[in-house]
A and B are shown apart, each in its own frame.
Chain A
Amino acid sequence: MTTAALPRVPGDRDPRVSPLRRVTGSPALRLVGKRLLMAIPIMLGVTILTFWVLSLIPGNAAQQLLGAEASPEDVAQLEEQLGLNESGVSRYLSWLGNALHGDLGNSLVSRQPVSEILADRLPVTGELVLLAFVVSLLLAIPVALLAAHKPNGLMDRISMMISTLGLSVANYVLALLLVLVFAVTLGWLPAIGYVPLSDGLWANLKTMILPSAAIGLPLFCFYTRFLRGDLVDQLQQEEYVTTARAKGVGSWQVLLRHAFRNSSFGLITVVGLNLGALIGGTVIIEQIFALPGVGQMLLQAINTRDFVVVQAAVVIFALVAVLANLVVDLMYAVLDPRIRYGSR
């Protein structure tokens, strides 16, 4: 097809523009760039806030390490050694300088580089969150579709009832109930502990099923409710759904090809926004199941006043939240033709 002969129309892409220009000039990328720029002050704010909050906590790592009976001289010496005696501002600035070079410092307690600790612990938390996400989404989508197909139908009511209930259960309560049923009573799965993936997939999964279920079940309820609500809104309010029905298209096809396709944008946004909050939720679950993840590390570090490690954990959590939003924007750009071609 020779496009040259055709008249130009709005929204048409000029074939003479090089592919590279097309990518760099794309509205999607500009959007992502804008987001990245906005993320900078947020990350700065988060790290400053952490420093400030941590400086409010009475006692420091030197005191904590040496115990209550230590002489003030010893404590002062260790403080100097650890760089704790400098002013908050200069400590923050030097931390920031190092962090920008990828150096998050050494643990005040174990003297181990934080990056090494994170390398051990991130995979555990990552696996936990990933499992929870994938399973909850894989379950929520079909359930929400079934529910939205006949709003107020039997399936809808059952799923709404379960999800309302599920959203009212605290994850630590759910975790203990799951342990009670599947570990204590049935004995199918271990109550606590962690087996790394390198010791075999099944052995690893056995230790991850309950924790990820404790995180994933409320998530499943949330996604189901959200998606069902959005699908019903689409079906009731969007005119293109009426068009599709007026064509004589079957109800499932209307639901899948039209309503769901558009609802998926909202779902992606919610999943992205959720990720930040979810990561915080892993703290208590890792504690209950004794999983050596970032959350458990954070809790220990707060208790031992190991502020370098706390700071690193907060940065990781905030970074994940920011990155998740970025990925959402990118996915929008890929999925939504209006953004892809820059009309919005």
Chain B
Amino acid sequence: MAVADTPLQVAENPAADQDDAVPGGRRWRGQLGLWLPGGAIVLIVVACFLGPALLGLPKPVGGSVLESYLPAGSPGHLLGTDPNGNDILSRLLHGGRASLFIAATVNIVGLVVGGTLGALSGYAGGAVDTVIMRILDVLIAFPSLVLTLAVAQALGPSIRNTILALAFFSIPAVARVARSAVLRLRGQPFMAAAELCGTPAWRVLFKHLAPNIAPQLITFAMLGMGIVIIIEGALSFLGLGIPAPAPSWGNMVADGQLSLSATPMLVVWPSLALLLTVLSFNLLGENLRSRWSGR
């Protein structure tokens, strides 16, 4: 909608950019903005977790060098093979499995731990709030990649350690969002009413606060999925994420980098997978956010 200067509108002649005045179109587009990325995510998840079995793809590791560098469209290898003779599509889907699993776990840990910390901090206030927030301040001021690098390095590359390393950086972010959401809620009458009725704190937290801050946190987690997938890729790219022979989008990009000029598709495929997945989560998150914020 034109805001800066809107000519008076005559109903019969709505200007071209005034699509907000067409409720049908807006509703339709709003739904599309939700279902398109949502559907894409479902598709990606199904493809990664069920795809290899359904399509009868070869294993992502242990390929034969005799089959290396097969071009896309070769029989049995839709996207061709990599320098080790492994099927690229299979590696792509298996890599996505790891990325999605790690990202989902990190976000759940972040939501549960960070959300609880933040809600407690905002609800309790006073010294508890100060202590929790100062600790989180330190975690936030700490260059997140350095922290994850150090943790990953300390614990050695593995899926579990990658999750641990990334959770370190997801928790404070979620906690901040939860805290500010709780602070906003605290001023509302129903909270005061609940407290006046003598409702115990844990009940207030779970019965009244949790359902109210959940939409915001879930929206944030959608955006967080994209971020975690990217950072997990960075760790794997640097060789500190998912250990080498097992595929991940990050280490596929890193491996492809070595022969970038000869076989650029080795970089392009995992890059596209990363982009598509992150984009879907971002679009979904943005859409949810605009819904909750009522704009």
Contacts and interface: CB of A to CB of B under 8 A. Distances in A.
Physical contact A–B (CB less than 8 Å):
yes
Given A152-B17, A245-B5, A165 B238 contact: no
Contact of A184 (B20, B134, B261): B261
B4 A254 contact: yes
Nearest to B235: A284
Nearest to A156: B17
A168 B141 contact: no
B238 A151 contact: no
A159 to B, nearest CB: 14
A310 B150 contact: yes
Given A153-B2, A170-B234, A172-B233, A280 B153 contact: no
A263 to B, nearest CB: 13
A314 B282 contact: no
Nearest to B155: A56
Contacts of B275: 165, 168-169, 173
B271 A176 contact: yes
Given A284-B234, A302-B150, A302-B153, A251 B5 contact: yes
B146 A152 contact: no
Given A280-B146, A302-B150, A180 B237 contact: no
B143 A172 contact: no
Contacts of A96: none
Interface in B133-155: 134-135, 137-139, 141-147, 149-151, 153-155
Contacts of A276: 141, 143
Contact of B234 (A172, A310, A317): A172
Contact of A41 (B134, B143, B271): B134
A153 B238 contact: no
Nearest to B239: A303
Interface stretch (A9-17, A18-26, A46-54): A46-54
Contacts of B274: 169-170, 173
Contacts, number: 152
Interface string A172-216: 110011011000100000010000000000000000000000000
Contacts of B205: none
B143 A280 contact: yes
B146 A298 contact: yes
B178 interface: no
A254 B147 CA distance: 45
B141 A235 contact: no
B5 A314 contact: no
Nearest to A284: B234
A170 B233 contact: yes
Contacts of B135: 45
A49 B138 contact: yes
Interface residues of B, number: 49
A133 to B, nearest CB: 17
A137 interface: no
Contacts of A168: 226, 275, 278-279, 282
Contacts of A321: 141, 143
A151 B1 contact: yes
Interface in B183-236: 226, 230, 233-234
Interface string B232-276: 011001100000000000100100110011001001100100110
Contacts of A167: 282
Nearest to B230: A170
Contacts of B17: 150, 152-153
Interface string B1-16: 1111100000000000
User: Which residue, B5, B230, B274, B278, has most C-beta atoms of chain A within 10 A?
Assistant: B5
A306 B282 CA distance: 38
B3 A299 contact: no
A180 B260 contact: yes
Given A46-B141, A164-B282, A314-B143, A284 B2 contact: no
Contacts of A72: none
Nearest to A229: B295
A164 B284 CA distance: 11
B67 interface: no
User: Which residue, A153, A173, A177, A279, has most C-beta atoms of chain B within 10 A?
Assistant: A173
A53 B267 contact: no
Contacts of A148: 4
Contacts of A77: none
Contacts of B19: 152
A314 B145 CA distance: 11
Interface in A289-340: 298-299, 302-303, 310, 313-314, 317-318, 321-322
B78 interface: no
Interface in A227-264: 232, 235-236, 245, 250-252, 254-255
19 contacts: A45-B137, A56-B154, A56-B155, A57-B153, A57-B154, A58-B154, A164-B283, A168-B278, A168-B279, A169-B275, A169-B278, A245-B4, A277-B144, A280-B143, A281-B145, A284-B237, A302-B149, A310-B146, A310-B150
Given A180-B260, A254-B5, 14 more contacts: A49-B139, A56-B154, A149-B4, A152-B1, A165-B275, A169-B278, A170-B274, A173-B267, A176-B256, A176-B267, A191-B260, A299-B238, A318-B142, A321-B143
Those 3 A-B pairs whose CB atoms lie nearest each other, nearest first: A45-B138, A251-B4, A251-B5
Interface of A: 41-43, 45-46, 49-50, 53-54, 56-58, 148-153, 164-165, 167-170, 172-173, 176-177, 179-180, 184, 191, 232, 235-236, 245, 250-252, 254-255, 276-277, 279-281, 283-284, 287-288, 298-299, 302-303, 310, 313-314, 317-318, 321-322
